[in-house]
Structure 1
Amino acid sequence: MDDEEVSKPKRHEVGMPIDTMSVEELSERIGLLEAEIARLRTAIEARGATRKAANAVFKF
């Protein structure tokens, strides 16, 4: 099998081997993970806003 035929994973999995990745590949993985962290933080903030709104509605 040629090196070109070997497909590289498109996503990062926690604990996956990284010792064969280049600096560019590692930097790309960091970018993917930082984007995912930002997405998760946005979801947390949205849930907090929903909870605050619900608490305000049910406060008497």
Structure 2
Amino acid sequence: MSDEYYYCVKHKTVEGPEGCAARHRLGPYPTRAAAEHALETVAERNEAWDEADRDD
């Protein structure tokens, strides 16, 4: 079992380290569940960064 998981934006699936090229992946994530929610995590972080930029 892998200790790292990635979300492949090309195939819209979770992969281990042996998956697609890095340019197609988000991660690594420590758990499969975290990788499954990668796009949600990205959206939340982007919103937080946008809000921080507005506050500057």
* TM-score, normalised with respect to structure 1: 0.39
User: As a proportion of its length, which structure holds more strand?
Assistant: 2
Scaled by the length of structure 2, what TM-score is found?
0.41
Write 1 or 2 for the structure with the bigger share of helix: 1
Pick the structure with greater CA Rg: 1
